[in-house]
Structure 1
Amino acid sequence: MTTTTPAATPLTTTPALAPLLARGALLSPLKRPRPDADFPRARLVLPGLRIDLARLAAYERTCGFATGADALPLTYPHVLGFPLAMRLMSGRRFPLPLLGLVHTSISVTRRAPMPATGTYELAVHVEGLTPHRRGTEASVVTEVRAGSGPDRTPGGSGAAPVWESRSTYLARHRTDAAHPSPQAPAKTPEPSAPLPALAEWRLAGDVGRRYGAASGDRNPIHLHPLTARLFGFPRAVAHGMWTVARCLAEHGTPDAAVVRADFRAPVLLPGTVTYGAGDGRFELRGGDGRRLHVSGEVGPYPATGRGETPYPAA
């Protein structure tokens, strides 16, 4: 993976998602993805962010979290950083087409509880590109620091992030299967047997629309069967981050936690899924228990015996 220390580019407000999604769609046919392509080096920084409590409550209700507590769910900072990530990934300098880009995994570290009434500084950058057996994968890092007082320049080194994540996004394209890159990551092995089934959820057809309204992510594959069919899906598809949030709402997380989740197969809406968990792991399978949609693990931070590691091992 190519890495860099990007310079900070301060923002004064959260970017609007709709124009970014439209720009990304228009530019997608012009992109020629490859793992050695250049990518945007900017680190977008948004200081002084306050949480919209009404929007937070809508998110909590949609994902199954309890409402009313002065604490952000572990997955909510991803929603806060998503517009900044879209600003980077929808631009001309980002080499992967936004249309068809697949969210393949997310790793999250939360070092302390995050009050919903707090003030935060967001920072997002593209960490690099990696060859994948099915194309090219981009890693996008989101960091959240508590406060943004006069003692710290926005985007400066300052205090360590209270929350950080690394998301991987895959652009599928033809690769040289006869000569695979030695850097190409190995596929995370699937669990050999299903985890104990603890709940069965019947998902309504409007889950994607409700999550889109709460999160701002209104990708057409999630909204309606007609728009999903334009991208090759028979029905609307649940957001990957909704599936992880719903699992973590059921599982629970420590105040200081390390989480990793892999998105393995889309969840079609409406549909029935089975939630399973055990020994710090969780998963979401099809109603018959055979098809694995999401697998993940939850642990305390710092992880016992591993020291302070900012991301779980892939």
Structure 2
Amino acid sequence: MADRHLGFTGTTQGRSRAPLNAVPLTGTPALGPLLLRGALSSPFKRRPDPDADVPRTRLVLPGVRVAPEGLAAYERVCGFGAGDADLPVTYPHVLGFPLAMRLMSGRDFPLPLPGLVHTSVEIVRVGALPVDAAYEVGVWVEGLTAHRRGVEVAVVTELGMGGEVVWGSRSTYLARGRGGGGGAAPRTPSPVHPPGRLARPGSETCEKPPRDAEEALPVVGEWRLGADVGRRYGGASGDRNPIHLYPLTARLFGFPRAVAHGMWTVARCLAAHGTPDAVEVRARFRAPVLLPGTVAYGADGTGRFELRAGRDGRVHVTGEVSRKAEWS
């Protein structure tokens, strides 16, 4: 992959970060041992600290091809059309997940892996991603920020094809615990840029305020979610965080029932919304979706979408889809 990125840079707080060290892999890391390692090491992780060091490694896996069976299972559980020639816009997250788990289960990763909660995702796709292409996947930990409920970690994933970055995402995850000073630290999300363009100092735009108190978007559909959604998505994606699987395992981390994966909720919304080939997506996960349950999907025709509780209208997810006409 060319040494060019989509601009997910310079947004974390705390101490300055050392340059990334690229580490090539020869195969996809096995998720089972990594998840077990993360679980066994979690009791030894200290209280979340936004100034802690993070791994300065960028894992790189070339020659990645999509397994048809896994893609079909993913399309079914997320609501994407089966048999398309191109990957769903959220699917590269699955390809990068084993690399992210290798980094986040390591001893040098400062937060406990079990119980991490996905809080936001930014995605940029340059164009259509052929199902039968060979990709190079790169993943690294960007850094930590203080949060009123603990500490957030940012993880960046990029997909390369033919030596160019064609897809990228930046996800934040919350480790709940004593936060940094009782209030959420200000954070400006990294802007999404075309390949080869890095963020310029001062070019970040402030995050929009939450839309929880705003008028709900027009309801397009109502979805009844079964208790097995987390297990089905976990089987398709490899993400078997215990908070998503069963009520008992979720209660160990303070949730009354299993909660849906954040990436499942945004994928399900985007399957209903649709996305152009060149696109930018931003989504915030406002409140957990408890399973089973009923949710209302809303959209206004301008690119905004949301997911609310079917009973009381509580906001679970807010997001925005933007068409990208140029990448120069």
TM-score normalised over the length of structure 2: 0.84
- The residue type equivalent to 1:87 in the other structure is R
Q: Which residue of 2 aligns with 1:142?
A: 157
Q: How far is 1:236 from its partner?
A: 1.5
Residue 170 of structure 1, CA deviation: 1.5
The amino acid across from 2:298 in the alignment is G
Displacement of 1:302 in angstroms is 5.0
Q: 2:197 — aligned with what?
A: none
Q: Counterparts of 1:123 and 1:12 in 2: how far apart (Å)?
A: 13
Instruction: Report what 1:155 is aligned to.
Output: none
Deviation per CA, 1:96-118, whole angstroms, max 9, x where unpaired? 11122111100000001000000
State the one-letter code of the partner of 1:160: E
- Indicate how the Cα distance of structure 1 residues 60 and 42 shifts in structure 2: closer, same or farther if over 3 A, else same: same
**Which residue in the other structure is 1:24 paired with?**
38
Mapped partners of 1:103, 1:55: distance in 2: 22
Distance 1:66 1:184, change over 3 A: closer
Question: What pairs up with 1:7-86 in 2 under 5 angstroms?
Answer: 7-32=21-46, 33-86=48-101
Shift of 1:299: 0.6
Give the corresponding residue for 1:283. Answer: 306
Amino acid at match of 1:215: S
User: Are 1:211 and 2:233 matched, yes or no?
Assistant: yes
What is aligned with 2:113?
A: 98
Pick aligned residue for 1:164 from 155, 168, 172: 168
2-structure distance, mates of 1:66, 1:12: 32
Q: Say whether the 8 Å CA contact 1:85–1:140 is kept in structure 2.
A: yes
Under a length normalisation based on structure 1, what TM-score does the superposition of the two structures give? 0.88
- The separation in 2 between residues aligned to 1:293 and 1:179, in whole angstroms, is 21
* Secondary structure in structure 2 of the residue aligned to 1:103: strand
8 Å contact 1:131–1:184 — kept in the other structure?
Answer: no
How far did 1:173 drift?
2.4
Distance 2:183 2:159 in 1: 40
Tell me the amino acid that sits aligned with residue 132 of structure 1: H
Distance 1:108 1:135 in 2: 24
Unaligned runs of at least 5 residues, structure 2: 1-11, 190-205
Structure 1, unaligned runs of 5 or more: 148-158, 309-314
* C-alpha deviation, 1:133, in angstroms: 2.5
Give the match for residue 268 of structure 1.
290
Q: Which moved more, 1:12-21 or 1:291-300?
A: 12-21
Tell me: CA distance 1:197–1:28, structure 2 relative to 1, closer, same or farther (3 Å): same
Q: How many residues align?
A: 294
Quote how far apart the aligned CAs of 1:249 are. Answer: 0.2
| 2:50–2:180 Cα contact (<8 Å) kept | no
Identify the residue that residue 312 of structure 1 maps to in structure 2: none
What is the rounded CA distance, in whole Å, between the counterparts of 1:52 and 1:179 in structure 2?
44
Q: Would the aligned equivalents of 2:100 and 2:139 in 1 still touch at CA under 8 Å?
A: yes
Q: Distance in 1 between matches of 2:210 and 2:235?
A: 32
> Which stretch has the larger CA shift, 260-269 or 4-13?
4-13
| Separation of aligned partners in 2, 1:260 and 1:25 | 30
- Which residue type is aligned with residue 273 of structure 1? V
How has the CA–CA distance of structure 1 residues 298 and 183 changed in structure 2, closer, same or farther, with 3 Å as cutoff?
closer
* Identity %, equivalent residues: 65
Shift of 1:50: 0.8
1:132·1:184 contact (CA, 8 Å) conserved in 2?
A: no
Q: Distance in 2 between matches of 1:5 and 1:257?
A: 29
- Name the residue aligned to 1:156: none
After TM superposition, give the deviation of residue 206 of structure 1 in Å: 1.0
Q: Which shifted more, 257-266 or 286-295?
A: 286-295
CA distance in structure 1 between the aligned counterparts of 2:245 and 2:185, rounded to whole angstroms: 37
Q: Structure 2 counterpart of 1:22, which letter?
A: L
CA distance in 1, matches of 2:148, 2:252: 25
* Contact 2:285–2:318, Cα closer than 8 Å, also in 1: yes
CA distance in 1: counterparts of 2:177 and 2:32, whole angstroms: 26
Shift of 1:252: 0.2
Q: In structure 2, how many angstroms separate the alpha carbons of the residues matched to 1:266 and 1:164?
A: 24
CA distance in 2, matches of 1:226, 1:178: 30
Q: Is the 8 A contact 2:49 2:180 kept in 1?
A: no
Query: 193, 200, 209: which is aligned to 1:189?
Result: 209
What code does the residue aligned with 1:281 have?
A: R
Q: Is the Cα–Cα contact under 8 Å of residues 114 and 241 in structure 2 kept in the other structure?
A: no
Q: Which residue identity is paired with 2:77?
A: T
User: Do the aligned partners of 1:131 and 1:183 also contact (CA within 8 Å) in 2?
Assistant: no
Q: Equivalents in 2 of 1:243, 1:181: separation in Å?
A: 26
